[in-house]
Amino acid sequence: MTYSHVERANDLEPSDGHRILREECPLHHEENFDPPFYVVSKHDDVLKILKSPELWGNSDGPGVFYQRGGVLGSTDDPDHARQRRVLREVFLPSRMRLLEKKLETICNDLWKTFEKPGEGDFVKIFAFPFPALAIAEILGVDPNDREKFHKWADDIVAGLGGGDLKLVDKANQELWEYIDDLVETRLILMDQGDQLPEDAISTMTIAFSKGDLSRREIQRLGHQLLVAGHETTASLLALMVYRLSSQPELLTSLKNNPKLIEPAVEEFLRFDSPVQGLFRTNSKACPVRDSVIPAGTKLQAMFASANRDPEIWNDPDSIRFDRDPKLARQHLAFGWGVHYCIGAPLARLEARLALKKIVTSNTTLEVLEDPPTTPPFILRGFTELRIKWN
């Protein structure tokens, strides 16, 4: 068929395109793309793929192009499991509790702009810096280097959408070197018998000293945390503001009952999943629905479409904060299975803090125009969100 999923993916409301996929071509072959690839869009099919990592692997990269030699999201077991065992510690609930106060301070500082009436771009003022600064905090970036780090984060993320590739290369190189310097500092502390700061670089440096990670892997893992955790979370924050502004009754219900903030974060993740769908590649020929897919084929598992599948969700195209909590958390916005988003606890914490600020502050945010969407078809978010506040 001639339907182009890639062309529809950046619609302001991509869910219409997802519905066509689910109803008319649940196993869609996207022929007008190089390389051509398959797409599954129904909840059941997406889950089946995610639950078969031995067949549908990540070592050709989670994107549409074949890329080898990565870490974590771009690799399979046993390397994936080894790297994940180390990083899991960084996102434990006890670490999140320690982080909460610091992130609240960052959130409050960024919010100061909205304390006097004005107009501007919510993405630039709040949605982009907050996750970048949160990742800087979790990694262990020195507060004096935050600006530098924020700039690398911006340049690298801009590259995902076709930004200046020279800037991306420069930022990648500088970030890798910076991470390696942080490792060096911690190795010196260890040699001296001093205590290490409680951050991701320390956790990874200890793993290096035990032979569980290489220094190159640490550089790549630090980089992946930034790339995977920055734009995704920024998109969630901007999408929440967009929805709350266009459906003010949602904001009223949160103001009346702030206990709904947590379920609301889950519902926004389901309704407006910032990662529309990532790729797997099959190690051997295998059946999917009524076709046999040859080995080495890229297939996109559409999390966002699965999250609107009426076979799973009652009233899927409405934002409802009263869903059964067990079902509500079964959305696939963070994927599922062995590659389930390792940063989900951090993303949830940031979203909860931001939403609490929006709900409890006296500022009203109003979206002024339809926002432009982010270019990569695997993602969903806004490059800009013009708002007025008072």
- The three-state secondary structure class of 278 is strand
Residue nearest to ligand HEM (CB): 343
Cα separation, 275 vs 235, in Å, equals 9
Our finding on whether 346 is near ligand HEM (CB under 6 A) is: yes
Q: How far is the CB of 340 from ligand HEM (least distance, A)?
A: 6
Q: Which residues make Cβ contacts (< 8 Å) with residue 351, sequence separation at least 6?
A: 233, 236, 237, 240, 265, 268, 269
Q: Which residues make Cβ contacts (< 8 Å) with residue 35, sequence separation at least 6?
A: 64, 65, 66, 298
Q: Applying CB under 6 A, which part among 287-295, 318-326, 329-337, 352-360 lies near ligand HEM?
A: 329-337
When binding is defined by CB under 6 A, the residue of 175, 333, 358, 359 that contacts ligand HEM is 333
Our finding on whether 135 is near ligand HEM (CB under 6 A) is: yes
Write each residue from 37 to 66 as x if it is in contact with ligand HEM (CB under 6 A), else as -, in one continuous string: -------------x-----------x----
* Smaller CB separation from ligand HEM, 38 or 303: 303
Q: Applying CB under 6 A, which part among 112-120, 281-289, 316-324, 332-340 lies near ligand HEM?
A: 332-340
Residue positions counted in the chain: 390
Tell which positions 233-252 bind ligand HEM, by CB under 6 A.
233, 236
CA dist 338 → 60, 85, 288, 310, 376 (Å): 16, 11, 20, 26, 24
Our finding on whether 268 is near ligand HEM (CB under 6 A) is: no
Sign of the alpha-carbon torsion through 274, 60, 207, 216? negative
Our finding on whether 334 is near ligand HEM (CB under 6 A) is: yes
Cα separation, 300 vs 307, in Å, equals 15
Our finding on whether 125 is near ligand HEM (CB under 6 A) is: no
Could you tell me if 37 and 279 are in contact, meaning their C-beta atoms sit under 8 angstroms apart? yes
Q: Name the site residues for ligand HEM (rule: CB under 6 A).
A: 50, 62, 72-73, 84, 135, 224-225, 228-229, 232-233, 236, 274-275, 278, 303, 333-336, 339-343, 346-347
